[in-house]
C-alpha cells in the first residue's frame, strides 16, 4: 500500500513502518540511558500518540508506567477567555519523573498547554518525547527533549495521526501526494 485515499485526498508513503519501529527502539535506548535507576511515568497524549506510546512501551526494558491524558479547552463561566484542562490524569504526579509522549509537535501550542497545566502537580522532572517534530512550524517555548523525526511543514497521516479521523490505523506514515 504505497498510495492510499482518505476522504478526498491522496497520500503516499513517507516514513515506512520498519523505519518507525527502528526509531522507536532507538528512542527507548536513549530514554533508558538517561533515566537509569528512575521510575518513569509516561503521559501519553490522546488520541494521536496511542500507537507510538504502545510501541515505545514494548521497546522499554526497565520498569515504566503509563497514563493517558487529553487536553481540552472550554469557555470558562466567569471569563470570556478559553480555559484549558487536562482530562484523565488519575496517577499521582508529585515527585515523579514524567515523559510526555506526543505523536507530533507542530506549532507547539498543545505541548505548551500540557506543560503549563502540569507545573501545578510538582513533578520531579518533565520531559517531552515526540515521534515527529516540525521545526519550521514550531512557535513554542522549548523543543522536545526526544525527537524521532524532524519533518518539513507538510501534512502527514498514519501511525496514530489522522486526516479528519481517518488514517490512524496505518502502520506507516504518509504525506499528501505531490
- Residue 158 within binding range of ligand IMP, rule CB under 6 A: no
Q: Is 106 a catalytic residue?
A: yes
Q: Which of 3, 18, 22, 155 binds ligand IMP (CB under 6 A)?
A: 155
Q: Which of 104, 114, 123, 170 binds ligand IMP (CB under 6 A)?
A: 104
Q: Where are the beta strands (DSSP E) in the chain?
A: 3-6, 9-15, 40-45, 64-75, 82-87, 97-105, 125-133, 146-150, 156-157, 173-176
Query: Residue 110 and residue 87: Cα distance in Å, rounded?
Result: 14
Write down the least CB distance from residue 130 to ligand IMP, Å: 9
- Residue 160 within binding range of ligand IMP, rule CB under 6 A: no
Write down the least CB distance from residue 21 to ligand IMP, Å: 20
- 43 vs 156, which CB is nearer to ligand IMP? 156
Q: Which of 11, 20, 101, 110 binds ligand IMP (CB under 6 A)?
A: 110
106, 112, 154, 164: the active-site residue: 106
Q: Are 157 and 174 in contact (CB under 8 A)?
A: yes
Bridge-based pairing state of the strands 125-133 and 146-150? parallel
- The dihedral over CA atoms of 113, 148, 143, 72, expressed in degrees to the nearest 10, equals -10
Write down the least CB distance from residue 24 to ligand IMP, Å: 17
Interacting residues of 29 by C-beta distance below 8 A, sequence separation 6+? none
Instruction: State the cell numbers at 48.
Output: 494521536
Instruction: State the cell numbers at 20.
Output: 518507525
Query: Residue 178 and residue 70: Cα distance in Å, rounded?
Result: 33
With contacts defined by CB under 6 A, name the span among 34-42, 87-95, 141-149, 150-158 that binds ligand IMP.
150-158
Residue number with the shortest CB distance to Mg ion? Answer: 48
Write down the least CB distance from residue 48 to Mg ion, Å: 3
Catalytic positions are: 106
Which residue ranges make up the site for ligand IMP (CB under 6 A)? 48, 102-110, 155-157, 161
Amino acid at each position: 500500500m504505497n498510495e492510499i485515499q482518505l476522504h478526498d485526498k491522496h497520500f503516499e508513503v513517507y516514513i515506512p513502518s520498519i523505519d518507525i519501529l527502528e526509531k522507536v527502539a532507538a528512542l527507548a535506548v536513549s530514554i533508558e540511558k538517561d533515566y537509569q535507576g528512575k521510575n518513569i511515568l509516561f503521559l501519553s497524549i490522546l488520541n494521536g500518540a496511542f500507537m507510538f506510546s504502545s510501541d515505545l512501551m514494548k521497546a522499554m526494558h526497565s520498569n515504566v508506567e503509563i497514563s493517558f491524558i487529553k487536553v481540552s479547552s472550554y469557555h470558562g463561566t466567569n471569563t470570556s477567555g478559553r480555559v484549558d484542562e487536562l482530562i484523565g490524569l488519575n496517577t499521582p504526579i508529585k515527585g515523579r519523573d514524567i515523559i510526555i509522549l506526543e505523536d507530533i509537535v507542530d506549532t507547539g501550542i498543545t505541548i505548551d498547554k500540557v506543560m503549563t497545566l502540569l507545573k501545578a502537580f510538582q513533578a520531579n522532572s518533565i520531559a517531552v518525547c515526540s515521534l515527529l517534530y516540525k521545526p519550521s512550524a514550531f512557535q513554542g517555548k522549548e523543543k522536545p527533549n526526544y525527537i524521532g523525526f524532524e519533518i518539513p511543514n507538510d501534512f502527514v497521516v498514519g501511525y496514530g495521526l489522522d486526516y479528519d479521523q481517518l488514517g490512524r490505523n496505518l502502520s506507516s506514515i504518509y504525506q499528501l501526494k505531490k
